[in-house]
Amino acid sequence: MNKKKIISIILIVSVSLALGLFYFYLRENNVISNKENKKEQQLENFKIFLPSTKELITKEVYAKKEIQELKKIEIIIESFLRELNSPFKETRILGIYRDKENIVYIDLSSDFCAPMDALQEYLLLKAFYKTLKNNFPWINDIKILINNKEIETLSGHFLIENSLKEYGEEN
């Protein structure tokens, strides 16, 4: 009789433990998937253009969702710069401004105007323009400032005082 009681108690305890573990397992999984869902909701997908040897290549990047457009632009430019070689990847963003005609002014550190070949300079300007224009179609034009100043050229081949449009939209 005692034996039967002991077996019954062990069975009850085992079943209770199994049920308890199963409950906790389900709960844990639910939390994780919820967390993943939340994380997905917080990220946004962007396409950036990058200069390669003779042409542009594209890359998908995920960045934290932002409401403010200028903040979004900053995140995209940071992603763009990170993908470049030295010294361009060391470039710091000093400011981003937008005027009433939707021209965006990007103020960068002088690392961005390092010496390069004509083709490299062209691809850099084109990639920069297309990266912003592709993700923010409302942008009418982009102007690059270096250390808060307008400059004639990045590396001596292309005039950038006025606009980047002619390089970005050139076929």
Q: Which residues make up the interface to another protein (CB under 8 A)?
A: 115-120, 122, 152-153, 155-159, 166-167, 170-171
Residue closer to another protein, measured from CB, 30 or 153 = 153
Residue closer to another protein, measured from CB, 145 or 168 = 168
Structure tokens at 34: 């919820």
Residue closer to another protein, measured from CB, 7 or 118 = 118
CB of 120 to another protein, least distance (A): 8
CB of 143 to another protein, least distance (A): 16
Distance separating alpha carbons of residues 128 and 93, to the nearest angstrom: 13
CB of 162 to another protein, least distance (A): 10
Contacts of 134 (CB under 8 A, 6+ apart): 47, 49
Distance separating alpha carbons of residues 148 and 104, to the nearest angstrom: 13
Phi/psi at 103 (5° precision): -95, 130
